[in-house]
Each structure stands twice: as C-alpha cells, then as structure tokens.
Copies of this chain bind each other. A is one copy, B any other.
Amino acid sequence: MKIAISGKGGVGKTLLASLLSKTFAEAGYSVIAIDADPDANLASTLGFPEPDKITPISEMKELVEERTGVKPGQAAPFFKLNPKVDDLPEKYSLKQNGIQLMAMGRIKKGGTGCYCPENALLQALLAHLLVARDEVVILDMEAGIEHLGRGTAKAVDKLIVVVEPGRRSIETAYRIGKLAQDIGLQNIAVVGNKIRSESDRESLISSLPSFEFLGFIPYDQAIVDADLANLPLLDSSQQIITEVRNIYQALLSSVQTPNTIN
C-alpha cells in the first residue's frame, strides 16, 4: 500500500505520518516512511537520532544511471525494471523499529534552485516501486498544493488530507481535492486533527460533505509539551494512539491495492 499525507502547513501531517508508520510497523508491516518535505521534520518526530546519514532519493539518479546506462529523463527505463522494496540499497534509508526512513533531498544552498528534480525522481520511484502485501510506503508531503502541480503523489493508493478546525485548512483540502482529480487520483480521504469538541468534529464533517473521513485525532496538550521539550511525539498520548489505530483500520478496509505483489 502506498499512502501520501498532505494538507495545509501546520495541520499535523508529520504527526500523522509518524503515528501511522508506527501503527503499521507494530502490526507487522515493513514500513517505508519517506520525508518529501525539504523543510523536513519526520526524522526527528520519529525519533531517528542521525537523519543526516541518509543519502537522499535525489542522489539515486546516479545509481540508476550507473546500473542501467540510462540517464534519468531519457526515454528508456527510469528505474531498472520495477524495483521491489528489497532492491532499494540500504544507504538510501535508516532503519529503526521496523520503520525504514528515506528522505527526498538535502537542503540546498539558498538561491540554487527548486525541488522539481527531486519531485520528479520521487514520482518515478513511487510509480514503479512494487510493494508487497505486508509492505507500506508512507509519504509525508510538503505543505500546501505545489506537490500536486508537480504530480509527485500520482501513484499512491490513498491521498490523506489532514484538516484542523478552521476555514483555511478546509480551503486547502478543497484545492487538493480538485488538483488530485486533475491527475486522476481518486482515492482521497480526510483526517481531522486538533479536535477539541464534538462541535469541532461536526463542523469538519459538514464543511467537507463530499470527502471520506478516516478518523479524528483529538487535540492533546501532551503533544504540544513533548514538542517543546524536544521529545519524540509518538509515545505522548494514549488517546491519540487509539484514534490512530482506528484510522489504520479504516485505511485497510478502504484501500484497494491493485499494484500489490505477493
């Protein structure tokens, strides 16, 4: 299964990516968590001690070229055959507690360019990667909508949009829904975050009537405190972990995975 997590800045994409990664790993899945935001926080949220040791996906193109003799961007196969997860060289990831962490690109020097090449490579990797029944790829996207213009998440089985109570993240969800349609991505669902009351929950549901809701994560001061204290956010709240297990179950029932191998 391939899942991408999107939404307005600050709604809790990285939190959900981390919690889902952990939940899938605990259920016995091999998890590949990919940080696709150049302003990246997934590694620290997951509690990886040395994220800088990962060679980013952007540097895979040299590997592809070396192995196949084909330059990325040329007509011929971009990735040699369709790689399985096991084929990905170890240096492109760090592993901890059943979660394999990959990163899209290094921070560039100011003024040296955009992240278009990295997004193109990630898109090709996602499209060609064969994921077995017990494997899941979880993509933590950059804030906003530009990645949808780039079509980075085109090949996922589910695009999750995180929303919080408040008009602005809902507007972003509609924009994402519209853009996802443009690229032929129909499996979109929403997760509500920072829910303080039943009325928060109801207002989100009534604001997004055409969207599937996978679940709701309560607002929890413990998360804010863990963040301030520079602690991994994962073990901070039992209530949240329970809700994320429900989201995990909803995902399993909702996703059809035609490109899963055995």
Contact = CB atoms under 8 A, between A and B. Distances in A.
Given A110-B180, A114-B114, A142-B143, 10 more contacts: A9-B144, A10-B10, A39-B144, A41-B171, A110-B178, A111-B150, A142-B146, A165-B228, A167-B228, A167-B230
B151 A111 contact: yes
Copies in the assembly, this chain: 2
Nearest to A145: B39
Contacts of A203: 228
B41 A111 contact: no
Given A166-B228, A175-B39, A110 B148 contact: yes
A203 B228 CA distance: 9
A29 interface: no
A209 interface: no
B227 A167 contact: yes
16 contacts: A9-B9, A9-B143, A10-B11, A38-B146, A39-B146, A41-B171, A44-B168, A107-B175, A110-B183, A111-B148, A111-B151, A114-B116, A114-B149, A143-B143, A165-B224, A166-B224
Interface in A21-54: 37-39, 41, 44
Contacts of A224: 165-166
Contacts of A178: 107, 110
Nearest to A199: B228
A107 B148 CA distance: 10
Contact of A144 (B108, B143, B154, B166): B143
Nearest to A168: B41
A259 B38 CA distance: 32
Contact of A116 (B116, B144, B185): B116
